């Protein structure tokens, strides 16, 4: 059953369901196949041998294989020849958006603080009635400028 | 006292040793059931078992086997199916 030129179906792995032809027999368990799959060594247990054969010789070239496989309706998958020389270094993907965003947010908060500061201090001065005591005015101003000062002012009022 | 929602067994319990050398119980959602073969019902190998949010972190090949019917049929049922389709 296993011979050079036997059409087979690959049942296992990512090439599962693809048809191929036995090109070479390595030993009892392994054969070399080519066809819709990649040209590769393959375990016999991962193949289903079909009732068809194709006339090819051992070590047939790609052109010969292509011709022979046409009769079975199998399109030969071609792999690019490997490039000679050293591999090109991997180029890491740039991450442009992460750092600028965080910087921008920080800047906004810094700008916001000084803007709000003078406004809050300025408002109570206009709202306060002219008849109010000078002592209470000072306490109010202190309360809005800083939190610890506000606590101290409250204590003073309670006592 | 534990929060009422943690008193049922919908959450799984994990014993954690805190940095302050205290043993506490943490509550996590349970894992989903194992994936099964659509034909014979056998549990599938190589299929990630995690919540959808965690699955999102995995690559495609980490989630299921890289073959036709991967993550749907078991390996032996896949072979049968492919043989049947070729005829
Ligand atoms: Zn199955």
Q: Return the structure tokens found at B24.
A: 């506490």
Cβ-in-10-Å burial (0-12, 13-18, 19+) of B66 comes to middle
Place of tokens 């921008």: A104
Position A46 in a domain: yes
Cα of B80 vs centre of ligand 1, distance in Å, is 9
**Structural domain count of chain A:** 2
Domain that holds residue A144: 134-158
Task: Identify the pLDDT of residue A80.
Answer: 75
Residues of A in contact with B67 (CB under 8 A): 12-14, 16
Whole-angstrom Cα distance, residue B66 to residue B58?
14
At A94, the pLDDT band (50, 70, 90 cuts) reads confident
Q: Where are the domains of chain B?
A: 1-30, 32-87
- Judged by a CB distance cut-off of 8 A, whether residue A45 touches chain B is no
**Residue A152, pLDDT above cutoff 70:** no
Local structure of A5: helix, strand or coil: coil
Which residue pairs from A141-148 have beta carbons closer than 8 angstroms and sit at least 24 positions apart in sequence? A144/A120, A145/A121
Task: Identify the pLDDT of residue A71.
Answer: 87
Position A124 in a domain: no
Local structure of A25: helix, strand or coil: strand
What is the pTM for the complete model shown? Answer: 0.61
Residues of B in contact with A17 (CB under 8 A): 68, 82, 85-86
Whole-number percent of chain B with pLDDT over 70: 100
For chain A, give the mean pLDDT: 75
Q: Is the dihedral of CA B7, B11, B12, B13 positive or negative?
A: negative
- Residues with C-beta atoms within 5 A of ion ligand 1: B 37, 39-40, 74, 77
Whole-angstrom Cα distance, residue A49 to residue A31?
12
Whole-angstrom Cα distance, residue B29 to residue B36?
21
Task: Identify the pLDDT of residue A139.
Answer: 57
Q: Return the structure tokens found at B50.
A: 């995690």
Cα of A22 vs centre of ligand 1, distance in Å, is 29
B→A interface, C-beta within 8 Å: 66-68, 75, 78-79, 82-83, 85-86
| Residue in A17, A48, A50 nearest the CB of B68 | A17
At A73, the pLDDT band (50, 70, 90 cuts) reads confident
**Residue B11, pLDDT above cutoff 90:** yes
Note the ipTM here. 0.76
Position A101 in a domain: no
**Residue A120, pLDDT above cutoff 70:** no
Task: Identify the pLDDT of residue A1.
Answer: 79
Residues of B in contact with A12 (CB under 8 A): 67, 75, 78-79
Residue A48 belongs to domain with CATH number? 2.30.30.30
């Amino acid at each position: 059953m296993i011979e050079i030129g036997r059409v087979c179906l690959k049942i296992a792995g990512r090439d599962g369901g693809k048809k191929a032809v036995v090109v070479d027999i390595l030993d009892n368990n392994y054969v070399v196949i080519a066809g819709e799959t990649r040209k590769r060594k393959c375990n016999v247990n991962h193949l289903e041998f079909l009732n068809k054969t194709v006339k090819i010789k051992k070590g047939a070239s790609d052109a010969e294989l292509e011709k022979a496989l046409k009769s079975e309706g199998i399109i030969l998958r071609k792999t690019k020849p490997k490039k000679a020389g050293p591999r090109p270094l991997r180029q890491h993907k740039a991450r442009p958006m992460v750092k600028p965003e965080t910087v921008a947010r920080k800047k906004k908060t810094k700008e916001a603080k000084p803007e709000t500061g003078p406004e809050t201090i300025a408002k109570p001065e206009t709202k306060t009635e002219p008849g109010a005591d000078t002592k209470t005015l000072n306490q109010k101003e202190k309360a809005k400028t800083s939190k610890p000062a506000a606590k101290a002012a409250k204590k003073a009022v309670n006592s | 006292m534990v929060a009422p929602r943690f008193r049922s067994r919908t959450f799984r319990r994990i014993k954690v040793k805190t940095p302050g050398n205290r043993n506490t119980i943490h509550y996590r959602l349970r894992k989903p059931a194992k994936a099964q073969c659509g034909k014979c019902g056998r549990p599938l190998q190589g299929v990630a078992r995690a919540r959808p949010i965690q699955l999102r972190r995995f690559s495609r090949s980490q989630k299921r086997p890289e073959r036709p019917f991967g993550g749907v049929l078991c390996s032996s049922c896949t072979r049968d199916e492919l043989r049947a389709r070729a005829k």
